[in-house]
């Protein structure tokens, strides 16, 4: 299953309790599957430019995603999408996630997306903006790839957690910092036995002067 690889780096700054408290509150307000949730299976339909592919998916937590589609390239892409969903929604504690790193606050610049928070030692130069109890922006670098995620909308679950429903990813050219690609992602969710599962995901991508739209639609969900 696709995950971000974290590698520890030497850290020379001191951990800031205010930054830790801010990020912990946002982390604990984010919807995740319970520790007892083992995964799900579903039918999958992918639509793009008048073409529809039908197949199946199976997500076995903590680390197995299987997609069956007639197109190997789109199948690999769909596995990546499901892998990211499973990583982001899978159960883990704050101390297992960003809480294991050294945290500090950036300058209070009254940014509309919230206070800047810097994560030290995760090898991705991660910086978040936190507003209230939500992470509203994520900035990261993975090798030569630098990207920013703006969280634009979310829903509130009955237990008071936030679950993202719309976000945009901006990818930047490594040489001059210009925008290379933009992905606008909209998620709807299916609730099965009180568990929020993927319902539809629409991705509008702009790159090299062209705009592409791809929709993933899940149906017939079954809990494992």
pLDDT of residue 8: 53
3 state SS of 18: helix
Q: Is the peptide bond before 87 cis (omega within 30 degrees of 0)?
A: no
Residues 126, 143 contacting (CB under 8 angstroms): no
pLDDT of residue 62: 84
Q: What DSSP letter does each residue of 66-117 carry, written as one string? A: EEE-S-HHHHHHHHHHHHHHHHHHS---GGGTGGGSEEEE------TT-EEE
pLDDT of residue 6: 45
pLDDT of residue 63: 83
Consecutive H or E run containing 166 = strand 162-172
pLDDT of residue 1: 40
Mean pLDDT by 10 residues, the chain (224 residues): 48 93 98 96 96 97 93 97 94 95 95 97 94 96 94 97 98 94 98 98 97 98 97
pLDDT of residue 3: 40
- Alpha-carbon distances, residue 99 vs 20, 52, 96, 120, 168 (angstroms): 7, 42, 7, 11, 25
3 state SS of 37: coil
pLDDT of residue 12: 82
Q: Is residue 170 left, alpha or beta, with left meaning phi > 0 and alpha meaning psi from -120 to 50?
A: beta
């Amino acid at each position: 299953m696709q995950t971000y690889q974290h590698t520890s780096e030497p850290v020379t700054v001191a951990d800031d309790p205010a930054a830790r408290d801010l990020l912990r509150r946002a982390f604990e307000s984010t919807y995740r599957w319970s520790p007892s949730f083992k995964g799900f299976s579903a039918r999958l339909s992918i639509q793009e430019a008048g073409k529809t592919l039908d197949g199946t998916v199976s997500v076995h937590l903590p680390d197995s995603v299987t997609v069956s589609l007639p197109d190997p390239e789109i199948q690999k892409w769909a596995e990546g999408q499901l892998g990211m969903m499973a990583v982001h929604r899978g159960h883990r504690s704050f101390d297992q996630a960003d809480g294991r790193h050294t945290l500090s606050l950036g300058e209070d610049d009254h940014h509309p997306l919230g206070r800047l928070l810097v994560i030290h030692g995760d090898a991705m130069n991660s910086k978040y903006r936190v507003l209230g109890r939500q992470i509203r922006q994520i900035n990261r670098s993975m090798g030569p790839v630098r990207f920013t995620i703006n969280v634009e909308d979310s829903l509130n679950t009955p237990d008071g957690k936030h679950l993202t429903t719309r976000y945009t990813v901006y990818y930047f050219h490594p040489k001059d910092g210009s925008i290379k690609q933009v992905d606008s992602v909209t998620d709807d969710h299916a609730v099965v036995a009180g568990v929020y599962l993927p319902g539809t995901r629409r991705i509008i991508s702009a790159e090299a002067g062209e705009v592409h739209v791809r929709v993933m639609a899940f149906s017939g969900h079954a809990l494992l």
